[in-house]
């Protein structure tokens, strides 16, 4: 599951000088997040993410993993009084700069949420809505795009006969795959996933993990927040451990789980706290 040039990746992830690595798609440099009244949720996070790799963010509840994830597509800007410090670069450009179009950014960096949240519409319209709003008007193009994204999310065979039925008639796992398809339809090169399987049963979880691996193989950079260490071990190439608002340790997944350096990470992995 791990790539051959793992050493190069490992060395490039946490450069001591906090300079973003050129071949990383997304780089976070000294990122901090402050909520209303200067309540600090996150501080000093340095992480890189690469194309075709799955990066997992693990750690106990409330330690900032999801907060960090939401910085990457600027979803935290929607929260009033939320302040983000540091710099996040996407393809080398600062995502907070006025030159970066917020809406284009979110097309290229997609997000899948913890609870499946399909729109109250047909399966077809769930995928077609964003495409339509982004300018795709021809019915043929839309049909093709819907099929392509449903195939990419491994959902096509199950729903091809009921594309115009309600999305709410699907099971939880199918709804989550629909949400993935909806995001993939916009051809993002980064997909952020915030505990996508925590509301699903093991079989649906397995299907989503297969989809994640397929997306990575197609070159998409995936950042996944997960509570489930086994899932992180199964699915990810690199893992970062968050604790109380700090990114404590990060590296190749195998090394993190086999030979963690930080004591807190050791305790977390051995289950001393959750």
Partner 1 sequence: MIPKRSIERVGKLATGACAAVATVLVITLIFMVAQHGLATFTVDGISPSGFFFGTTWNPHQTDDAGSPLMGALPMIAGSFAVTLLSCLFVLPFAIGSAVFVVEIAPGFGRKVLQPVVELLVGIPSVVFGLIGLTVIVPWVRGWAGGTGYGVFSASLVLAVMVLPTVTSLAIDAIASVPDSYREGSYGLGCVRWQTIWNVVLRSAAPGLMTAVILGMTRAFGEALAVQMVIGNAAAMPMSLFTPATTLTSVLTMGMGNEAMGTVYNDALWSLALVLLLMSLAFILIVHLIARKGARSNG
Partner 2 sequence: MADTVAAHIKKARTQDRIATGILIATAGVICALLAAIIIYILVSGASKVFDPAFLTGKPQQFQAGGGIGPELFNSFYLLLLTLIISTPLSLGAAVFLVEYAPDNVATRTVKTAIEVLSSLPSIVVGLFGFLFFVLTLGWGFSIISGALALTMFNIPILVRVIQQALEAVPSDQRDAGLALGLTRWETTVHILIPAAIPAVVTGIILSAGRVFGEAAALIYTAGQSAPVLDFSNFNLASMSCPWNIWRPAETLAVHIWKINSEGVVPDLTAVSNGTAAVLLLCVLAFNLLARFLGRRLSKKLAAE
H-type helices in the chain, by residue range? 6-13, 65-72, 102-108, 123-133, 139-152, 156-159, 172-184, 202-217, 229-235, 253-258, 263-269
Q: How far is the CB of 44 from partner 2 (least distance, A)?
A: 26
Q: How far is the CB of 80 from partner 2 (least distance, A)?
A: 6
Residue 103 binding partner 1, by CB under 8 A: yes
Question: Residues 51, 96, 130, 229: which binds partner 2 (CB under 8 A)?
Answer: 130
Q: How far is the CB of 155 from partner 2 (least distance, A)?
A: 17
For partner 2, how many residues bind (rule: CB under 8 A)? 30
Stretch that binds partner 2, among 2-10, 56-64, 114-122, 198-206 (CB under 8 A): 114-122
Question: Residues 17, 22, 80, 135: which binds partner 1 (CB under 8 A)?
Answer: 135
127 close to 163: Cβ distance less than 8 angstroms: no
Stretch that binds partner 2, among 58-66, 149-157, 177-185, 257-265 (CB under 8 A): 177-185
Residue 166 DSSP code: B
From partner 1, partner 2, none, which one binds at residue 255 (CB under 5 to 8 Å depending on kind)? none
234 close to 222: Cβ distance less than 8 angstroms: no
Residue 161 binding partner 1, by CB under 8 A: no
Residue 273 binding partner 2, by CB under 8 A: no
Distance CA 150, CA 78 (A): 29
Please name the residues in contact with 141: beta carbons below 8 A apart, sequence gap of 6 or more.
Answer: none
Residue 162 binding partner 2, by CB under 8 A: no
> Can you give 10-28 as a three-state secondary structure string?
HHHHCCCCCCCCCCCCEEE
Strands 93-94 and 238-243: unpaired
Distance CA 194, CA 231 (A): 13
Strand order in the sheet with 54-58: 93-94, 83-90, 26-35, 39-49, 246-252, 238-243, 54-58, 221-225, 190-194, 109-112
Stretch that binds partner 2, among 6-14, 19-27, 125-133, 146-154 (CB under 8 A): 125-133
Distance CA 187, CA 193 (A): 15
Binding mask 198-237 for partner 2 (x = CB under 8 A): ----------------------------------------
Question: Residues 2, 129, 199, 229: which binds partner 2 (CB under 8 A)?
Answer: 129
Binding mask 40-79 for partner 2 (x = CB under 8 A): ---------------------------------x-x--x-
Which positions lie near partner 2, rule CB under 8 A? 73, 75, 78, 80-81, 103-107, 110-111, 113, 115, 117-122, 129-130, 133-134, 166, 168, 179, 182-183, 186
């Amino acid at each position: 599951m791990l790539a051959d040039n793992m050493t190069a990746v490992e060395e490039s992830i946490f450069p001591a000088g906090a300079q973003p690595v050129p071949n990383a798609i997304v780089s976070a440099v000294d990122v901090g997040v402050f909520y209303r009244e200067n309540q600090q949720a996150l501080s000093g996070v340095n992480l890189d993410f690469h194309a075709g790799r799955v990066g997992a963010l693990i750690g106990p509840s409330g330690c900032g993993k999801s907060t960090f994830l939401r910085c990457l597509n600027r979803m935290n800007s929607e929260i009033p009084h939320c302040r983000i410090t540091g710099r996040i670069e996407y393809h080398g450009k600062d995502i907070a700069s006025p030159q970066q179009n917020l809406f284009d950014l979110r097309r290229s960096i997609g997000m899948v949420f913890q609870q499946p949240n399909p729109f109250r519409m047909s399966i077809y319209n769930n995928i077609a809505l964003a495409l339509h709003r982004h300018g795709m008007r021809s019915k043929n193009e839309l049909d093709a795009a819907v099929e392509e994204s449903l195939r990419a999310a491994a959902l096509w065979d199950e729903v091809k006969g009921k594309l115009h039925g309600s999305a709410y008639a699907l099971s939880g796992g199918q709804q989550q795959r629909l949400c993935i398809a909806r995001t993939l339809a916009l051809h993002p090169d980064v997909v952020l996933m915030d505990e996508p399987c925590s509301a699903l049963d093991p079989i649906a979880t397995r299907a989503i993990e297969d989809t994640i691996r397929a997306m990575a193989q197609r070159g998409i950079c995936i950042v996944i927040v997960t509570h489930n260490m086994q899932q992180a071990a199964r699915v990810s190439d690199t893992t970062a451990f968050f604790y109380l608002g700090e990114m404590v340790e990060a590296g190749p997944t195998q090394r993190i789980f086999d030979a963690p350096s930080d004591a807190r990470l050791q305790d977390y992995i051995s289950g001393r706290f959750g």
